[in-house]
Amino acid sequence: MFPTDTTVAVPVTQEVLDGIGKVLAVHLSYSSRANQRGRTPAFPSYFMKATSSLALTGSTVERPADTELLQFEGEIALVIGTAARRVTPEQGWSHVGWVTASNDLGIQDIKYADKGSNIRSKSGDGYTPLGPVLLPAAQLDPAALRVITKLNGATVQDATTDELLFSFGQIVADLSQQMTLHPGDVILTGTPAGSSIFQPGDAVSVEVCGAGTHPAQPLTTGELLTTATQATQGFQAFGNPTKVTDADRIDAWGDAEAAGLAPAVEQEILTPLVRAQLQAAAVATLSTAVKKAGVENCTVAGLVATKGRRRVMGRARTLRYVPLREDLFQQVGGGYNAQKRVIDDLNEGDVLVMEARGEVGAATMGDILVTRAGVRGAAGIISDGAVRDLAAVEDIDVPVFHSGAHPSVLGRKHTPWDIDVTVACGGATIQPGDIIVADSDGIVVIPPHLVAQVAADAAAQEAQDAWVLEQVEAGHGIDGLFPPTGEWKAKYEAHKASQAEQAGQN
Distance CA 110, CA 242 (A): 5
What's the pLDDT band for 1 if we cut at 50, 70, 90? low
Lowest mean pLDDT among 211-215, 236-240, 290-294, 354-358: 211-215
Angle CA 14–18–19, to nearest 5: 120
Question: In this model, does residue 264 exceed pLDDT 50?
Answer: no
Residue 367 assigned as binding residue? yes
- Per the prediction, the chain carries an average pLDDT of 92
Q: With pLDDT > 90 as the criterion, what percentage of the chain qualifies?
A: 76
Residue 310 assigned as binding residue? no
pLDDT tens, position by position, 304-319: 999 999 999 999 999 9
Residue 396 assigned as binding residue? no
Lowest mean pLDDT among 284-293, 447-456, 495-504: 495-504
Distance CA 280, CA 48 (A): 54
Question: In this model, does residue 245 exceed pLDDT 90?
Answer: no
Terminal alpha carbon distance of the chain: 86
pLDDT for position 270: 86
User: What 3-state class would DSSP assign to 493?
Assistant: helix
Distance CA 147, CA 58 (A): 18
102: β partners: 75, 130
**Interhelix angle for 451-473 vs 272-280, to 10°?**
40
pLDDT tens, position by position, 161-220: 999 999 999 999 999 999 999 999 999 999 999 999 999 999 999 999 997 555 555 699
pLDDT tens, position by position, 345-367: 998 899 999 999 999 999 999 99
Residue 388 assigned as binding residue? yes
Query: Per-domain residue ranges for the chain?
Result: 10-253, 296-446, 456-505
Range list of H helices, 184-261 = 246-253
Question: In this model, does residue 505 exceed pLDDT 70?
Answer: no
pLDDT for position 265: 43
CATH superfamily, domain at 10-253: Fumarylacetoacetase-like, C-terminal domain (3.90.850.10)
CATH superfamily, domain at 296-446: Ribonuclease E inhibitor RraA/RraA-like (3.50.30.40)
Residue 465 assigned as binding residue? no
> What is the length of the chain?
506
Q: Are 282 and 276 contacting, i.e. CB atoms less than 8 angstroms apart?
A: no
Residue 368 assigned as binding residue? yes
Does this model's pTM top 0.75? My answer is: no
430: β partners: 423
pLDDT for position 262: 58
